[in-house]
Amino acid sequence: MFEPTGLRRDAASVIFNLPGYRVVDAVDLPLGGRRVKVVPVDLDDGCPACGVVSSRVHAWTEQRVCDIPHAGQVVVVVGKPRLVCAEPTCPRQTFTPATEQLPTRARCTTRLKTAVLDAVIDSGRAVAEVAQGFGVAWWTVQATINTAVMLLPGVDELHVRRLGIDEHRYRRVRWFRDDGGAWRRVEPWMSTIVNVDCGQVLGIVDGRDSAAVGGWLNARSRAWRDRIQVVAIDPSAAFKKAITAALPNAAVSVDPFHLVQLANLMVTRVRQRLIREREQRRGRKIDPAWAHRTLLVRGYDTLSARARTRLDLVFASDDPTDELSAAWGVKEQLRRLLTVTGVDQARHEKMILGCYIVAADMEETWRLWTTIEAWWPAIEVLIRTRVTNARTEAANTGIKQIKRTGRGYRNPAHYQARILLTSAARRAA
């Protein structure tokens, strides 16, 4: 990016260090700051129309450009030569040469755009903050991001074997009036599609329905879709429908975290129902099951000896019908099922889980069993491949950080461009 200082150049050019240019003048401005004038070192360039190299100067023009800060306010003026084409028959008689640092019609140096892009993508700073720090407009920084994302390799060029799909909400809920005058609620969801082998975000689509995800998958080439072996998703019927239609050869793996989350929700519903039936009120701190409610949804193998003693006291003092302990046992058996390493062993644990469900015989546990039965083929894929949505959830965490830093993007295209660039930069690192 920067030229080595060992070249035979004058001191001002070495300090300013703009590749391809030398400093010819530097003056102090009356109101503070400095003005530095630079000109190209090499005047030889080829005509854009005919390609004939010329070095004959027809006239000189001056242009003020934006550059990276240099120890205070510095106004950079570039002397641009207008060369005469050496080919007499060329319809373009004169032309202005372009350089690496100042392409055609550029008002900012390339090193400024590189520094701006690094500040936003690598450092995670807000676009408005970077624009103010470098003394450029907000749109200049955003246009640099939009240009950079167009240079990323196409999704069809990437060798992807496993996908992860998850949704996130990129802005707050909005309300609007429809044609009939009624208020409608709009939740602006986006679905993130990630390469679970490396965690790179491949695409972001509006919405979280099957049409949005299926449209993105169908836009990929046939060879790319045939390479997909496994897709990890949450227990979402919409995602499963899109994958089945667009990727008929891919197996669907369900994320174990969300299955355990459903089991924890089942235990919580049982606890709330029991306290309402027994006390005709919500749970309070005086109720052991409410006071130790976090112990009920934690894995038993992760509890300390003291925590296990407290959990046993909860079942002994605040569970007269044994329904809470039965629901807790169903949850723990599901956790054991999801940690096995073989499909045959998983089927054996599922049979034990079915016995627990029959013994518990509660509406909440039967609802969980219905979900397990519906997603059992995907659970077998999970046991066999161990493909989860962990890296997809990690990508969503980074996306939420981008949302907080950006202070709310109004344009979804700008939001998506920053997400894709940040993910690609982390993958490259």
Position 122 scores a pLDDT of: 87
DSSP state for residue 25 in the 8-state scheme = E
Going by C-alpha positions, the residue among 184, 176, 240 that lies closest to residue 208 is 240
Residue 258: partners with Cβ closer than 8 Å, 6 or more residues away:
234, 235, 389
User: Which pLDDT value is given to residue 408?
Assistant: 63
What is the distance between the terminal CA atoms of the chain, rounded to a whole angstrom? 19
Give whole-number Cα distances, 368 to 325, 326, 345, 353, 362, in Å: 16, 13, 20, 11, 10
Contact 150, 417 (CB under 8 A): no
Gap between the Cα atoms of 413 and 423, Å rounded: 15
Q: Are 371 and 338 in contact (CB under 8 A)?
A: no
Close Cβ partners of 380 (under 8 Å, ≥ 6 residues apart): 343, 346
C-beta of residue 203 within 8 angstroms of C-beta of residue 193: yes
Task: Output the pLDDT for position 276.
Answer: 94
The tens-digit pLDDT sequence of the chain (429 residues) is: 444 544 567 888 888 889 989 999 989 888 888 899 999 998 888 888 888 898 889 999 999 999 998 877 889 999 999 999 988 888 888 998 889 999 988 899 999 999 999 999 988 888 989 999 998 999 999 999 999 999 888 899 999 999 999 988 877 777 878 888 888 777 778 899 999 999 899 999 888 889 989 999 999 999 999 999 999 999 999 999 999 999 989 999 999 999 999 999 999 999 999 999 999 999 899 999 999 999 999 999 999 999 999 999 999 999 999 999 999 999 999 999 999 999 999 999 999 999 999 999 999 999 999 999 999 999 999 999 999 999 999 998 888 888 888 766 778 788 888 899 998 888 876
Three-state secondary structure readout of 324-345: HHHHHHHHHHHHHHHCCCCHHH
Residue (of 259, 240, 220) closest to 337 by Cα position: 259
Could you tell me the strand order of the sheet in which 189-195 lies? 200-206, 189-195, 162-169, 230-233, 251-254
3-class state of residue 400 by DSSP: helix
pLDDT for res 393: 92
Predicted pLDDT of residue 407: 66
Integer Cα distance of 193 and 163 in angstroms: 7
Extract the tokens encoding 138.
């907000």
* pLDDT value, residue 429: 64
72-110 burial, b at 16+ Cβ within 10 Å, e below that, comes to: eebebebebbebbbebeebeeebbbbebebbeeebebbb
